Structures are given as structure tokens and as C-alpha cells.
Chains A and B, each alone.
Chain A
Amino acid sequence: MRDGKYVILALDDDPDILESLRVVLEANNYIVDTARSAEEGLRVYRSGKPDLVFVDLMMEEIDSGTSFVKELRALGNAAPVYVLSSVGDNLNMATDFSSLGLTGVLQKPINSTLLLSLLKTKLK
């Protein structure tokens, strides 16, 4: 929480995705921190203490999303972590999902109604 608002960290290497997320979420009274690499993401995570995290595992820098998620787990992260995934990204959920400490998956393109209802149920 920052200034009485929930803080959401979005990690994606696509600035347009980040920007549209920011517009939708800020219009709904959330604070959005964004990062475009694992390194930046960790820095923002430490300083911003988000209540919920969105992360794209399929960023161009190979494995940067996965390593970010592993780092979060190592830091004892308690905030829910959602993966932003494209259909056909071939995430091997069966093995990685629980070991990476992921809460769920959001399919791109992200439906804003779905996104907002998810946040409402998760952040109370």
C-alpha cells in the first residue's frame, strides 16, 4: 500500500503493454510500478514493495522472467505473482508453476474487465 492505494508491479519488455496496463489500473485507483528487465524489476520490487506482481516470462532476454520469479521467491515474497502469457508460449506449467511460486496466468491480450475483477478479489 502506498498512499492508501494498492501497488502493482508490472514486468514486461513491451512498453506498450506496460503503458496500457498503467492507464487501465491508474484509472481504477491502483499505483503501477513498471520495469522492463529482471534487474530493474528487482530494484523496483525492493523499493516499491508491491501488493501484486505481473510478469511476462517470455521476454526477449532469455530466462530473465524466470530468474526474476526465482529471486522473488528467494526474497520471501508474499505478494501474488501472475504470469502474463501469450497462447502458444509453451509454458511448462505442470512442472514450473508451483516450484516458481506463481499464483496464476493471465492470457494476453489482457481483457481489462477480467483484469479488474481479478484485482478486486485478490486485493481486499
Chain B
Amino acid sequence: MIPHAEGQVQIPIESELEERLAWFIRLRWLAALGIFTGALAAGWLVRLEITLVPVYLTGLAVLAYNTVFHRYFSSAQQHKHGLSRHFIYLQIALDWLALVFVVHYTGGVLSPLILAFALHVIIGAILLSQRSCYFLAAFAAVLTGLVAALEGSGVWPLSHSSRLMTDPLEGITSPLNLWIANAVFFAIIAYLATSITRKLREKEEVLFRSERALDRAYKEVDALFKIGQLVNSTLEMNEVLSLVAKNVAGLMGMKACFIRLFDSPGGELHVGGSYGLSREYLDKGPVELDKSPMDQATLTYGMMEVYDVGEDPRFQYREEARREGIRSALCAPIIAKERILGVIRIYSAEPHRFTEPERALLKNLANLGALAIENARTYAELKALSEERIWFARVTHHQLRAPLAAIQGVIEAIPYAGDLTAKQKELLERCSRRVTDSFDLIRDLLDLAAAQRPLEGGEVESVHLGQTLQKAIETASERARSKGVDFATAISPGDIVVQAQAADIERIFSNLLDNAVKYTPHGGSVRFEIAGENGHVLAKVSDTGIGIDPRDQERIFEGYYRTQAAKDSGEIGTGLGLSIVKRLVDRYGGKLELQSAPGQGTCFVVTLSRRLDPAHAPAIQRAMS
């Protein structure tokens, strides 16, 4: 079945088959006409008294069934229901039945009309598959053989007059008649051949045109994709605008491209980015919307074209444009989220009428540009916000610490101002301890805030672990010794380098080491191991300390959460250390694992990538999404 259901798309091969079927039916009208005129002409041409009545009857039969076919075909087309391949076979079968009669009554198997079978085989080749065509040829051979057998055996005897045609040349009275008979046959062959070729050429042309259209569409999509990638490769507004201008001009084959943006909604248009325009032209002055009907029209109607910018009064700077060598302009609004950001213009060097595809392309490019501009704006806003936050955090840090530093200074000075009683000394020590705790809390709070801020590209450096962690290791080791805790390190030889910020790496491990020593009682041990493993760094801080209850293991990374065992140990802590560690490890896309059992000890394993995964580097971009 050739599917042709309502709503279904008709593929080209089906419509082509339908066309050929229509052609086949049209051809049959000619064939019927040929039977009538041929029979009449044969009488004159070969001067035979052939039995014309059965031939005419066959011709009438052909007309009759072709009428039925024509009606059926038209209704199938009208109602768009499928046409069966059997429809073609039925037509050929009936044609051949008619042909058998015509051949029989015009001289049997030796009738020159037997060549009409050949014509059918050719038609079959056009309508059906190659295999079907060979089948038709074989069937024609069998059919003519059957006719010959029936005639020869006398089952279906040739009539007297038609028998005379057994040697058709015998009946041809002159070379002229022979030539006419040949010419008619040649004409039929020529008609068939040319109609096939014409159809082929038409198809070739259609194919060529669709190929060209497809090629153009592909190039446009490809260019749009490339521009999309390119303009999103940077978030710096100036770069984005220059890239958009350059690529739009290049893609559309234009001399120049100019982007103007509103400084504020409804404000003035100022130069955003440009390509192919001189500094002098760009500096010609601001575009006042009241004096630029071109921009007004663009913003009102969506798109605007000026054939000659040097002559058109709608163009504000005609003289400058003439000097710049720009002729025709097409202008489109840049719209993002239903807000007009500005306008984009392309200029040709020669007078140019912009085509519909060019207008559509500029519109698409303007939309793409709008997206990139919007992204760059958001980025700039976020960056400003982020800088403000950093500044605020720094000032806050200073403001919070300064009075504490003064208090601590005064506490330190008091013993030098005169002798103190033992109680006074003890009270001062209490003060001093609380001030130190407050310093730690401020430091942890600010570190926690800093750890949450995503990293920007360029903020990382090569951090040599052995060197960077030396101080943290010394501090922990010193503390362990004074506490009677065994402290050992196993740092694999060779330089282990990670891409990070040194302060972050130091903070991660000083917090873990500090905790390990803090929560390991006298007589216990703390071990610190670092090893490099195929692109990763594996660092392990293990202790034989108080351990962490499985119920607490999830919560210890929350801010201000301290386990009961930690509080009972008498050690002071802000409860922020591990959340800082967790956030810093996350900041670099690393992994933090914990194994612990109460009373047995704790082991933290930190896995960091040596190279910073690009997905984690420009994290400000992630923060935006």
C-alpha cells in the first residue's frame, strides 16, 4: 500500500508514483485512439481486409476500462486514500489482454503490433521495480508464446483476412508505406523516451533546488550555532558585543555591523559594539531617537530597511555615512525577555535590497545577540555584587577584629601597669581566653562565607602541598607533643601539586589536623598521609580519638553543630570547622569521606583533582544558572 492517510505527510516518491499513474492513464487514451486510427490506417496502408470489428470492440473496451481507472484514480486523489500497487498490475493485465486481442486480429504473433508489449515493458520499468519489470518481460514472452500456441494448434484460429498478415511485408505495397509504419513506431518510442527524460530532468531540477535550499539552511544553522557558541564563550560585555558585530557582518556578507544599546530603559542609544566602521564614524555623535526615524521605525515596527543611507532623510548622519562608504542598511531591534535592549544594524558597501531570508537571519542573530548581552549584563551585575560582598566582608572582618585586638592589647598590658593578685590574674586569663575564642569565631565565620563564594577562573595557582602544609603540620605536631599524643606524617616523595588557592588548602588540612589532635586524648595517635594517585591527591587524617557517633556523622558538617562527645571533651570549638572543610573541598570538586566509630577514632579522606576540573573553575557562571 502507498500510505496516504489524512494528516500523514506524503513523501516525494509517493507523489511521483501518483504522477506516473496519471501519465499512464493519459497514455491509454492515446493508445485507444491509436487502435481506432491504426485499424483504419492499416486497411489503407497494407490494403488488407482485416477483421476490424473485434479490433474496434477491443478499442471500445480499452476506453471503457480506462474511464473506470480514471474515475477511481481521481477519487483516490480527492479522498487521499492509498493506492495499491495492484492497481498498476490490474491496468497492465487488462492492457495486455486487449493487446492479445489486437495482435490476434492483426496477424497473430507475427503482427508488428506485438512490439506494443515492448512499450509496456518500458512503461512497467518506469512505474514498477526492476524486478517487476523483468517479470513483465518474461510474462510478455509467455503470453505471446501462448497466443502462438493457441493459434498454431487451431484452438484460436486466425481469421482468413488476418492470416494474410502473416507476412506483413507481403501486404505493404510501397516503400513509402513501410517508411510511414516505421516512422509511427519511432515516434511512439521517441514520445516515451522523451517523456521519461523530461520527467527525469524535472526531478533533477527539483532535487538541485532542494539541495541548494538545504545547503543554505544548513549553513545558516551552522553559522547560528557557531555564533551562539562564540558569543557565549565570554561574559565580558565589550567582548560579547564585538563578537556579535563581527560575526553578524561576516555571516551576512556585509561591510559593517553596528550595535547600539540603551543606557537605561527608554534612554539614549549609545555605541555598544561595531565591526567594519572607522573610529571617526563611531565618534560622529550620539544617536538621538527623535532625530533618527530609522531607529524609531525599527523599535515600532520591528525591522527597517534603507536602500541608500546617504540619501534617505530617515538616516540621521547621511554625510558621514557617504564618507564611510556604506550604502544600504537593515536594522533590527535587540529584544530579550520582551525588553528592548537596543538595535543592531548591518551595512552593505554596495546598494542592496535585503531579501526575506536575510531579514529573517538578522532577526535570529539579533535574538541570539540579545541572549548573550543579557547574560553579560547579569554577569556584570553579579560580579559587582560579588565584589561588594568581598569588600563588605573584609571591612566587617576588620571592624569586628579591631576592638577585640584593642581589648587583647589592654589585657596584655595590665600586668605591666602594676602587680596583680592571683585572682586578678585568673580573671584576666578568662578574659583573654574568651577574646581568643571570639577571634576564632570571626575567622571561621568569614572563612565559611568565603568558602561559599564560587571560585573565579584565574584565582587558582599551583599549590605545592608539602610546602603549603608545613606550617599546619608543625602547629598540629607541636600541639600533639604538648598533649602527649603521637603524631606521624607519611607524605609520598616528590612534589604533589594541586590547582587551588593556597589559603584554602591550608585551611582544609589545618582544620582536620586541629580537630584530630583536639579530640584525641593523651596516649593516642594522629596520622597524616598524602599520596598522589593518577591525577588525584588522596589525603588522609586519622586519629584514635573520641570518634563520631553514626547519628552525628551527617550533622557535623552543618554550621555550629558540635557532638555531645566533643562538648564533653572540654575542648573549645566554634562548630564551624568541618562545614568550612566540606565547603572548601566542594569548591574544588573534591570528595570528603568520613569513617568513624565512637571511642575508636576518626578518619577523614580528602580526594582532590590535581588539575582543576573546568566544570568547577569558572564557578561564578554556575552560580548564575
Interface residues of A (CB under 8 A from B): 14, 16-17, 19-21, 23-24, 26-28, 58, 86-90, 108-112
Contact B394 A90 (CB under 8 A): yes
Q: List 15 A-B contacts (CB under 8 A).
A: A16-B407, A16-B409, A17-B409, A21-B413, A23-B416, A26-B416, A86-B402, A87-B401, A88-B401, A88-B446, A89-B398, A108-B401, A109-B408, A110-B405, A111-B412
- Please give, as numbers and ranges, the residues of chain B lying within 8 Å of A89 by CB-CB distance: 398
Shortest CB-to-CB span from B500 to chain A, Å, is: 18
Known contacts A20-B412, A88-B394, then 7 further A-B pairs from the complex at CB < 8 Å, ordered by chain A residue:
A21-B413, A24-B412, A87-B401, A90-B394, A108-B408, A109-B408, A112-B416
Residue of A nearest to B432 (CB): A109
* Assembled-state Cα–Cα distance A88/B412 (Å): 22
Pick from B413, B435, B446: contact of A20, CB below 8 A.
B413
With A23-B417, A24-B416, A27-B416 known as contacts, the answer to whether A17 contacts B406 (CB < 8 A) is: yes
Find residues 387-418 in chain B having any chain A CB closer than 8 Å to their own CB: 394, 397-398, 401-402, 404-410, 412-414, 416-417
Residue of B whose beta carbon sits closest to that of A25: B416
Q: What's the Cα separation between A111 and B412 when bound, in Å?
A: 7
Q: Give the interface centre of B397, B412, B435 by most chain A CB atoms within 10 Å.
A: B412
Assess A112 versus B401: contact at CB under 8 Å? Given A16-B406, A20-B406: no
A27 to B402, CA, bound (A): 24
B425-443 contacts to A (CB < 8 Å): 435, 439, 443
B410 contacts A86, C-beta separation under 8 Å:
no
Report the minimal beta-carbon distance from A90 to chain B, rounded to whole angstroms: 6
In the assembled complex, which residues on chain A have CB atoms less than 8 Å from the CB atom of B407?
16
Chain B residue with the shortest CB-CB distance to A18 = B409
CB <8 Å contact, A58 and B398:
yes
Which of A20, A26, A89 is packed against the most chain B CB atoms within 10 Å?
A: A20
A6 smallest CB distance to B (angstroms): 16
Cβ contacts B318-346/A at 8 Å (1 or 0 each): 00000000000000000000000000000
Report the separation of the CA atoms of residues A89 and B394 in the bound assembly, to the nearest whole angstrom: 7
Residues of chain B within 8 A of A58, CB atoms compared: 398
Known contacts A88-B394, A88-B397, A109-B412, A27 near B417 by CB under 8 Å: yes
Closest chain B residue to A116, Cβ basis: B416
Residues of B within 8 A of A108 (CB): 401, 405, 408-409
B410 near A88 with CB under 8 A, answer no
A23 CA to B410 CA, complexed, in Å: 9
Q: Which residues of chain A come closer than 8 Å to B401, judged between CB atoms? A: 86-88, 108
> B405 to chain A: which residues have CB within 8 Å?
14, 17, 86, 108-110
- When the two chains form their complex, are residues B410 and A19 in contact, meaning their CB atoms are under 8 A apart? yes
Determine which of B394, B413, B446 lies in contact with A24 in the assembled complex, contact meaning CB atoms within 8 Å. B413
What's the Cα separation between A88 and B409 when bound, in Å?
18
A112 close to B394 (CB less than 8 A): no
Q: Is the CB of A86 within 8 A of B406?
A: no
- A64 CB → nearest B CB, Å: 15
- Contact in complex: B404, A109 (CB < 8 Å): yes
**B410–A16 contact, CB under 8 A?**
yes
A123 to B7, CA, bound (A): 99
Report, nearest first, the 9 A-B pairs whose CB atoms are least far apart. Answer: A109-B408, A20-B413, A20-B409, A27-B416, A16-B406, A23-B413, A108-B405, A112-B412, A109-B405
Determine how close the nearest CB of chain A comes to the CB of B580; give it in whole angstroms.
Answer: 14
Given the known inter-chain contacts A14-B406, A86-B402, A87-B443, please indicate yes or no for A19 contacting B397, CB distance below 8 A.
no
In the complex, the chain A residue whose C-beta lies closest to that of B443 is A87
Chain A minimum-CB-distance residue to B450 = A88
Write the nearest CB–CB distance from A32 to chain B, whole angstroms. 12
CA distance A87 to B394 in the complex (A): 10
In the assembled complex, the CB of A59 is this many whole angstroms from the nearest CB of chain B, namely 10
Determine if A109 and B394 form an interchain contact, defined as CB atoms under 8 angstroms apart.
no
User: Are A21 and B409 interface neighbours, CB within 8 A?
Assistant: yes
Question: B409, A109: Cβ atoms under 8 Å?
Answer: yes
Measured CB to CB, the nearest residue on chain A to B439 is A109
Q: Which residues of B contact A112 (CB under 8 A)?
A: 412-413, 416
Residues of A within 8 A of B439 (CB): 109
Please, how many angstroms separate the alpha-carbon atoms of A17 and B408 in the complex? 9
Q: Which of A14, A23, A90 has the most CB of B within 10 A?
A: A23
Q: Nearest chain-B residue to A58 (Cβ)?
A: B398
Interface residues of B in 27-79 (CB under 8 A from A): none
Closest A residue, CB atoms, query B406: A16
Residues of A near B413 (CB, < 8 A) are: 19-21, 23-24, 112
B398 touches A86 (CB 8 A): yes
CA distance A19 to B405 in the complex (A): 13
Chain B residues near A109 (CB-CB < 8 A): 404-405, 408-409, 412, 435, 439
Inter-chain CA distance A108–B409, complex, in Å, is 8
Q: Tell me the complex Cα distance, A89–B557, Å.
A: 28
Residues of A within 8 A of B410 (CB): 16, 19-20
| Nearest Cβ on chain A to B411's Cβ, whole angstroms | 8
Interface 1/0 per residue, B164-199 and A, CB below 8 Å: 000000000000000000000000000000000000
Q: Quick one: closest A residue to B401, CB to CB?
A: A86
Residues in A neighbouring B409, C-beta threshold 8 A: 16-17, 20-21, 108-110
